[in-house]
Amino acid sequence: MRGSLQVYKKVSVDSQLSAASPHKVIQMLMAGAIERLIQGKAAMLQGDIAVKGERLGKALDIVISLRTCLSMDEGGEIASNLDALYDFMIRQISEANRDNLDAPIDDVIDILREIKSAWDQIPAEYHNITQAGA
């Protein structure tokens, strides 16, 4: 049963991604990172080191992906500030995983929620703009 649920979730995410605007993809990545961080923290507090490492590792991969999506040439000061925040988050997740600390995870969750909240407020007419269309 659990395997079937995982397959269904993967198909659902894959189909959402194939139809998603660039804006929606970023929203999904941020939500996924927050979810993995919460799961990683819960596993840490339960002493489940394997799950903690796997979930924090996935969150770390997502944050790294978000950072690599930044357009430093076109993004100006905003991209530079986000780059610094993503760098900070990468270091915090790594420290939390290495030292079994939950406070750095909370810090990253708070930062991601704030960035996502701002991202969610971008008007719909800007959701499909890409570098080629800008």
**Given pLDDT bands bounded at 50, 70 and 90, which one contains residue 134?**
very low
pTM for the whole structure = 0.81
- Tens-place pLDDT, residues 64-113: 999 998 988 888 999 999 999 999 999 999 999 999 999 999 999 999 99
Mean pLDDT of the chain: 86
CB 65 within 8 A of CB 29: yes
- Residue 2's pLDDT band (boundaries 50, 70, 90)? low
Quote the pLDDT of residue 125: 80
Better-scored residue on pLDDT, 13 or 123: 123
- Going by pLDDT thresholds of 50, 70 and 90, the confidence category of residue 14 is low
Map 58-69 to HEC letters: HHHHHHHHHHHC
CA distance linking residue 8 with residue 35, whole number of Å: 18
